[in-house]
Structure 1
Amino acid sequence: MQKIPTKFPDVWLVQPDVFEDERGFFLESYSQIKMEKLGFNYTFLQDNHSKSIKNTVRGLHFQLPPGQVKLVRCTKGKIWDIVVDIRPKSPHFRKWMGIELTENNYTQILIPVGYAHGFAVLSDFAEIEYKVTNYYDPTIERGIQWNDKSIEVDWKVENPILSKRDMNNPSLSQYLKIK
């Protein structure tokens, strides 16, 4: 298992060791001891799994403190995974990054608290699994506009399919004023 830096110093890609042959493949998608050796000392409490059709955009979502650290991977299909720094005092505030996660590249992304997260489905459908460090709590769940003009994420999809919630999230500026 390897950790690979990204443009954000505390967001990491995690690449598991994959053993492939003519029969298929094997990998450890998660190992607490290996993650600790990489310097990640998180305790994951819940696994989530979603399936979405092509052009679906989910996000941008985050949680109020204590928040959730997320370890995200795509198990079927292909997604464009988005991370946005929403910490007002960060030098990367309002900056975003995207990474293609696929069932074939096995790459995972570790997203700490202080970032909004979302993804767009690029294949006919995709399944995403992610570990989180806190249980789901709707009272701390928040979101910002997927198409916030001050962030300008390139979602790589035309005519995105959105939930009502994601269509009605405030901009980051609006959120910061009302929080």
Structure 2
Amino acid sequence: MTDLKELLLSRIRDVMDHPEPGVVFKDITPLLADPAAFGALTDALADIAVRQGATKVVGLEARGFILGAPVAVRAGLGFIPVRKAGKLPGATLSQSYELEYGSAEIEVHAEDLTADDRVLIVDDVLATGGTAEASVQLIRRAGAEVTGVAILMELSFLGGRRRLEPSLQGAPLEVLLTV
């Protein structure tokens, strides 16, 4: 795991003052551009999905799509996108949540998840935890079981883990990198 962490960290670039002054943005595009690093990340997340007995992988818009889809393929599972409100056609289930600066809403197709599904949620970054927490609630409202959440990188100074873990009700939160 140490080699994986070193590889992933070596491919994540700090961008100063983005999107606003004082913020250090963690850019994963160099990681995605490196097939060895992206493959190693996909393998690690797919291993989590298999170990947890997931039947579906949910990816959170937008970079969760980039990570979650290959994880689902590698693990031999279905992939379900959780989108921002208004982006999916047809019948949807939605979940609102509070942000530091307002509120937001996410959606999933109403027919994509059933009571037989065991879902691993995949995303790139755990920051304040609002989107991940809302996705847990949304998946449960759809009738499916949340097996856990798998995250590439946790920004621990933002406290997302404290917000997310109570909603997991004992399902694991697995983070590959903590900064």
Could you say whether these structures have the same fold, taking a TM-score greater than 0.5 normalized by the shorter chain as the test?
no
| Relative contact order higher in (CA < 8 Å, ≥ 6 apart) | 1
User: Greater strand percent: which structure?
Assistant: 1
User: Greater helix percent: which structure?
Assistant: 2
TM-score normalized by structure 1? 0.29
TM-score normalized by structure 2? 0.29
